[in-house]
Structure 1
Amino acid sequence: MSSEAACVNSNDSLPTSTGAGATPPRRFAALADRFGATASFLCAVHCALLPFVIAILPALGLGFLADHAIERGFVVFACTLATTMLVLGFRRHGSGKALALLFPGVALLLAGVLVDFERATTLHAALVTCGGTLVALAHIVNLRLSHRHDENCRH
Protein backbone atom coordinates (compact mmCIF):
# COMPACT_ATOMS: atom_id res chain seq x y z
CA MET A 1 0.00 0.00 0.00
CA SER A 2 1.46 3.37 -0.97
CA SER A 3 1.98 6.02 1.68
CA GLU A 4 -0.53 8.24 -0.10
CA ALA A 5 -3.17 5.53 0.02
CA ALA A 6 -2.41 4.81 3.66
CA CYS A 7 -3.17 8.38 4.70
CA VAL A 8 -6.71 9.53 5.26
CA ASN A 9 -7.91 13.06 4.60
CA SER A 10 -10.26 14.48 7.18
CA ASN A 11 -12.87 15.23 4.52
CA ASP A 12 -13.16 11.68 3.14
CA SER A 13 -16.68 11.33 4.45
CA LEU A 14 -17.83 14.72 3.19
CA PRO A 15 -19.65 15.13 -0.13
CA THR A 16 -17.49 16.00 -3.11
CA SER A 17 -20.21 17.25 -5.43
CA THR A 18 -20.14 20.82 -6.64
CA GLY A 19 -23.70 21.62 -5.57
CA ALA A 20 -24.59 24.59 -3.41
CA GLY A 21 -22.91 24.38 -0.02
CA ALA A 22 -20.93 21.27 -0.92
CA THR A 23 -17.26 20.84 -0.11
CA PRO A 24 -15.02 20.83 -3.21
CA PRO A 25 -13.20 17.60 -4.05
CA ARG A 26 -10.20 17.20 -1.76
CA ARG A 27 -7.68 17.09 -4.62
CA PHE A 28 -8.98 20.40 -5.92
CA ALA A 29 -8.90 21.90 -2.43
CA ALA A 30 -5.31 20.75 -1.89
CA LEU A 31 -4.29 22.02 -5.33
CA ALA A 32 -5.96 25.37 -4.70
CA ASP A 33 -4.20 25.69 -1.32
CA ARG A 34 -0.84 24.83 -2.90
CA PHE A 35 -1.46 27.31 -5.71
CA GLY A 36 -2.51 29.97 -3.18
CA ALA A 37 0.53 29.38 -0.99
CA THR A 38 2.88 29.58 -3.97
CA ALA A 39 1.18 32.65 -5.41
CA SER A 40 1.13 34.42 -2.05
CA PHE A 41 4.79 33.64 -1.45
CA LEU A 42 5.73 34.88 -4.94
CA CYS A 43 3.68 38.00 -4.30
CA ALA A 44 5.56 38.59 -1.06
CA VAL A 45 8.91 38.16 -2.84
CA HIS A 46 7.75 40.44 -5.65
CA CYS A 47 6.68 43.12 -3.19
CA ALA A 48 9.89 42.86 -1.18
CA LEU A 49 12.11 43.16 -4.24
CA LEU A 50 10.10 45.67 -6.26
CA PRO A 51 11.55 48.81 -4.65
CA PHE A 52 15.06 47.58 -5.48
CA VAL A 53 14.50 46.53 -9.08
CA ILE A 54 11.87 49.03 -10.24
CA ALA A 55 14.39 50.84 -12.41
CA ILE A 56 15.39 47.75 -14.40
CA LEU A 57 11.91 46.27 -14.96
CA PRO A 58 11.17 48.33 -18.11
CA ALA A 59 14.55 47.39 -19.57
CA LEU A 60 13.65 43.71 -19.13
CA GLY A 61 10.19 44.20 -20.61
CA LEU A 62 8.61 43.62 -17.21
CA GLY A 63 7.45 47.16 -16.48
CA PHE A 64 3.86 45.92 -16.15
CA LEU A 65 4.84 44.22 -12.87
CA ALA A 66 5.18 47.66 -11.30
CA ASP A 67 1.66 48.69 -12.35
CA HIS A 68 -0.55 49.36 -9.35
CA ALA A 69 -3.65 48.02 -11.11
CA ILE A 70 -1.93 44.64 -11.64
CA GLU A 71 -0.92 44.58 -8.00
CA ARG A 72 -4.39 45.48 -6.74
CA GLY A 73 -5.96 42.84 -8.98
CA PHE A 74 -3.53 40.22 -7.72
CA VAL A 75 -4.19 41.16 -4.09
CA VAL A 76 -7.96 40.90 -4.60
CA PHE A 77 -7.54 37.51 -6.31
CA ALA A 78 -5.19 36.22 -3.58
CA CYS A 79 -7.48 37.39 -0.78
CA THR A 80 -10.56 35.86 -2.43
CA LEU A 81 -8.85 32.53 -3.12
CA ALA A 82 -7.36 32.35 0.38
CA THR A 83 -10.58 33.25 2.15
CA THR A 84 -12.60 30.75 0.12
CA MET A 85 -10.17 27.86 0.56
CA LEU A 86 -9.49 28.49 4.24
CA VAL A 87 -13.17 28.81 5.13
CA LEU A 88 -13.82 25.51 3.30
CA GLY A 89 -10.80 24.04 5.09
CA PHE A 90 -12.17 25.23 8.42
CA ARG A 91 -15.42 23.43 7.64
CA ARG A 92 -13.41 20.23 7.09
CA HIS A 93 -10.98 20.30 10.00
CA GLY A 94 -12.63 22.69 12.45
CA SER A 95 -9.39 24.41 13.53
CA GLY A 96 -9.05 28.19 13.45
CA LYS A 97 -5.24 28.17 13.26
CA ALA A 98 -5.12 28.90 9.52
CA LEU A 99 -7.76 31.62 9.82
CA ALA A 100 -5.71 33.21 12.61
CA LEU A 101 -2.94 33.73 10.05
CA LEU A 102 -5.25 34.61 7.18
CA PHE A 103 -7.11 37.54 8.69
CA PRO A 104 -4.05 39.62 9.68
CA GLY A 105 -2.45 38.69 6.34
CA VAL A 106 -5.43 39.96 4.36
CA ALA A 107 -5.57 43.10 6.51
CA LEU A 108 -1.89 43.81 5.86
CA LEU A 109 -2.29 43.19 2.12
CA LEU A 110 -5.26 45.53 1.89
CA ALA A 111 -3.53 48.18 4.00
CA GLY A 112 -0.48 47.86 1.75
CA VAL A 113 -2.39 48.55 -1.45
CA LEU A 114 -4.14 51.52 0.16
CA VAL A 115 -0.84 53.15 1.15
CA ASP A 116 0.38 55.80 -1.29
CA PHE A 117 3.08 53.84 -3.11
CA GLU A 118 4.85 56.96 -4.40
CA ARG A 119 5.27 58.54 -0.96
CA ALA A 120 5.65 55.50 1.29
CA THR A 121 7.43 52.90 -0.81
CA THR A 122 9.08 51.16 2.15
CA LEU A 123 5.86 51.02 4.18
CA HIS A 124 3.97 49.69 1.15
CA ALA A 125 6.60 47.01 0.54
CA ALA A 126 6.69 45.99 4.21
CA LEU A 127 2.91 45.72 4.52
CA VAL A 128 2.33 43.66 1.38
CA THR A 129 5.39 41.48 1.98
CA CYS A 130 4.29 40.60 5.51
CA GLY A 131 0.68 40.18 4.39
CA GLY A 132 1.60 37.90 1.48
CA THR A 133 3.82 35.81 3.74
CA LEU A 134 1.03 35.37 6.31
CA VAL A 135 -1.46 34.38 3.60
CA ALA A 136 1.02 31.84 2.19
CA LEU A 137 1.57 30.41 5.68
CA ALA A 138 -2.19 30.24 6.21
CA HIS A 139 -2.53 28.11 3.08
CA ILE A 140 0.25 25.79 4.28
CA VAL A 141 -1.31 25.44 7.74
CA ASN A 142 -4.66 24.72 6.10
CA LEU A 143 -3.07 21.96 4.02
CA ARG A 144 -1.50 20.42 7.10
CA LEU A 145 -4.74 20.59 9.08
CA SER A 146 -6.74 19.07 6.22
CA HIS A 147 -4.46 16.05 6.07
CA ARG A 148 -4.99 13.55 8.87
CA HIS A 149 -2.48 10.74 9.36
CA ASP A 150 -3.23 7.29 10.64
CA GLU A 151 -0.97 4.50 11.94
CA ASN A 152 -0.29 3.24 8.37
CA CYS A 153 0.95 6.59 7.12
CA ARG A 154 4.63 6.55 6.14
CA HIS A 155 5.36 10.24 5.60
Structure 2
Amino acid sequence: DARGPQMGVTEPLPHRILPVVGIWTRDKDYGAYLRQVERGNIVFGGAAERVSVDLDPGHAKADPARLPVQLRAVARLLPAIAQAAVIRTWSGCEGYVRDMLPVIGQSATTPGLFHAFGFCGHGFQLGPGVGDAMAELITTGHCETPLDDFSIDRFSREA
Protein backbone atom coordinates (compact mmCIF):
# COMPACT_ATOMS: atom_id res chain seq x y z
CA ASP A 1 0.00 0.00 0.00
CA ALA A 2 1.43 3.40 -0.92
CA ARG A 3 1.00 6.09 1.74
CA GLY A 4 2.77 9.27 2.79
CA PRO A 5 4.30 9.74 6.24
CA GLN A 6 4.08 13.28 7.58
CA MET A 7 7.30 14.95 8.66
CA GLY A 8 8.09 18.33 10.17
CA VAL A 9 10.95 20.52 11.31
CA THR A 10 11.15 23.21 13.97
CA GLU A 11 13.05 26.45 14.17
CA PRO A 12 16.64 26.01 15.44
CA LEU A 13 16.96 25.35 19.19
CA PRO A 14 20.12 24.98 21.29
CA HIS A 15 21.83 21.80 20.09
CA ARG A 16 21.58 19.21 22.88
CA ILE A 17 20.19 15.97 21.44
CA LEU A 18 22.71 13.61 19.87
CA PRO A 19 20.81 10.32 19.31
CA VAL A 20 17.66 9.71 17.33
CA VAL A 21 14.86 9.44 19.89
CA GLY A 22 11.65 7.57 19.25
CA ILE A 23 8.99 5.14 20.28
CA TRP A 24 7.09 2.77 18.01
CA THR A 25 3.59 1.65 18.89
CA ARG A 26 0.59 0.34 16.98
CA ASP A 27 -1.46 3.20 18.48
CA LYS A 28 -1.05 5.79 15.74
CA ASP A 29 -1.46 8.69 18.18
CA TYR A 30 1.62 7.76 20.25
CA GLY A 31 4.44 6.48 18.06
CA ALA A 32 6.83 9.32 17.23
CA TYR A 33 10.47 9.99 16.58
CA LEU A 34 12.81 12.94 16.36
CA ARG A 35 16.37 13.93 15.80
CA GLN A 36 18.19 17.21 16.14
CA VAL A 37 20.47 18.41 13.38
CA GLU A 38 23.66 20.36 14.12
CA ARG A 39 22.02 23.65 13.25
CA GLY A 40 19.54 22.96 16.07
CA ASN A 41 16.36 22.18 14.13
CA ILE A 42 14.30 19.24 15.41
CA VAL A 43 13.19 16.95 12.58
CA PHE A 44 10.21 14.86 13.64
CA GLY A 45 7.72 12.33 12.34
CA GLY A 46 5.23 9.70 13.36
CA ALA A 47 1.90 9.87 15.19
CA ALA A 48 -0.10 11.32 12.31
CA GLU A 49 -2.15 9.03 10.10
CA ARG A 50 -0.31 8.64 6.79
CA VAL A 51 -1.71 10.68 3.92
CA SER A 52 -2.89 9.32 0.59
CA VAL A 53 -0.51 9.25 -2.36
CA ASP A 54 -1.13 10.18 -5.97
CA LEU A 55 0.73 7.32 -7.65
CA ASP A 56 0.94 9.25 -10.90
CA PRO A 57 3.37 11.04 -10.40
CA GLY A 58 4.03 9.61 -6.89
CA HIS A 59 3.41 12.68 -4.73
CA ALA A 60 1.96 13.07 -1.25
CA LYS A 61 1.05 16.31 0.54
CA ALA A 62 1.30 16.89 4.27
CA ASP A 63 -2.01 17.61 6.00
CA PRO A 64 -1.80 20.57 8.45
CA ALA A 65 -4.85 19.26 10.35
CA ARG A 66 -2.77 16.26 11.49
CA LEU A 67 0.01 18.39 13.00
CA PRO A 68 -1.54 18.90 16.51
CA VAL A 69 -1.81 15.13 17.15
CA GLN A 70 1.72 14.67 15.85
CA LEU A 71 3.14 17.44 18.06
CA ARG A 72 1.43 16.01 21.16
CA ALA A 73 3.10 12.66 20.52
CA VAL A 74 6.50 14.24 19.87
CA ALA A 75 6.12 16.40 23.02
CA ARG A 76 5.88 13.18 25.08
CA LEU A 77 9.47 12.54 23.98
CA LEU A 78 10.65 16.16 24.12
CA PRO A 79 8.39 18.50 26.12
CA ALA A 80 10.33 21.61 24.97
CA ILE A 81 9.10 21.10 21.40
CA ALA A 82 5.69 22.42 22.48
CA GLN A 83 7.23 25.91 22.62
CA ALA A 84 9.07 25.68 19.29
CA ALA A 85 7.76 27.01 15.99
CA VAL A 86 7.25 24.44 13.24
CA ILE A 87 8.73 25.98 10.11
CA ARG A 88 7.96 23.29 7.53
CA THR A 89 6.05 20.06 6.99
CA TRP A 90 6.25 17.59 4.11
CA SER A 91 5.40 14.11 3.02
CA GLY A 92 6.64 11.60 0.47
CA CYS A 93 5.66 8.30 -1.08
CA GLU A 94 6.48 5.09 0.81
CA GLY A 95 5.28 1.52 0.44
CA TYR A 96 3.79 -0.26 3.44
CA VAL A 97 3.24 -3.94 4.16
CA ARG A 98 -0.26 -4.77 5.44
CA ASP A 99 0.86 -5.68 8.98
CA MET A 100 3.59 -2.99 9.16
CA LEU A 101 6.32 -5.62 9.70
CA PRO A 102 9.14 -6.33 7.25
CA VAL A 103 9.50 -9.52 5.26
CA ILE A 104 12.76 -11.23 6.23
CA GLY A 105 13.92 -14.73 5.39
CA GLN A 106 13.99 -17.39 2.71
CA SER A 107 11.54 -17.39 -0.16
CA ALA A 108 8.63 -19.78 0.27
CA THR A 109 8.74 -20.69 -3.44
CA THR A 110 12.22 -20.11 -4.87
CA PRO A 111 15.31 -21.89 -3.49
CA GLY A 112 18.28 -19.56 -3.06
CA LEU A 113 16.10 -16.41 -2.93
CA PHE A 114 16.11 -14.42 0.31
CA HIS A 115 13.88 -11.50 1.28
CA ALA A 116 14.58 -8.37 3.31
CA PHE A 117 12.02 -5.71 2.35
CA GLY A 118 8.93 -3.85 3.52
CA PHE A 119 10.49 -1.95 6.39
CA CYS A 120 7.68 0.63 6.29
CA GLY A 121 9.81 3.50 7.54
CA HIS A 122 11.84 1.65 10.19
CA GLY A 123 14.66 0.26 8.05
CA PHE A 124 17.28 2.62 9.48
CA GLN A 125 16.73 1.20 12.96
CA LEU A 126 16.56 -2.43 11.86
CA GLY A 127 19.01 -2.38 8.95
CA PRO A 128 22.24 -3.31 10.76
CA GLY A 129 20.65 -6.21 12.66
CA VAL A 130 18.83 -7.45 9.57
CA GLY A 131 22.10 -7.37 7.64
CA ASP A 132 23.72 -9.61 10.27
CA ALA A 133 20.75 -11.98 10.34
CA MET A 134 20.60 -12.22 6.54
CA ALA A 135 24.35 -12.84 6.27
CA GLU A 136 24.06 -15.68 8.80
CA LEU A 137 20.99 -17.14 7.07
CA ILE A 138 22.49 -16.98 3.59
CA THR A 139 25.90 -18.38 4.54
CA THR A 140 24.81 -21.07 7.02
CA GLY A 141 21.19 -21.86 6.09
CA HIS A 142 19.87 -20.94 9.53
CA CYS A 143 19.79 -17.93 11.84
CA GLU A 144 20.22 -17.67 15.61
CA THR A 145 17.71 -14.79 15.60
CA PRO A 146 14.13 -16.10 15.26
CA LEU A 147 12.74 -14.87 11.93
CA ASP A 148 9.49 -16.87 11.64
CA ASP A 149 7.27 -13.86 12.44
CA PHE A 150 8.76 -12.06 9.41
CA SER A 151 8.33 -14.91 6.91
CA ILE A 152 6.81 -14.11 3.51
CA ASP A 153 4.36 -16.99 3.91
CA ARG A 154 2.66 -15.31 6.89
CA PHE A 155 0.32 -13.66 4.39
CA SER A 156 -0.80 -17.01 2.97
CA ARG A 157 -1.49 -18.23 6.53
CA GLU A 158 -3.89 -15.30 7.18
CA ALA A 159 -6.78 -16.89 5.28
Shorter-chain TM-score tier = under 0.3
Determine which structure has the larger helix proportion and give its number.
Answer: 1
**Structure 1 length-normalised TM:** 0.27
Larger RCO: 1 or 2 (CA < 8 Å, sep 6+): 1
**Structure 2 length-normalised TM:** 0.27
Determine which structure has the larger strand proportion and give its number.
Answer: 2
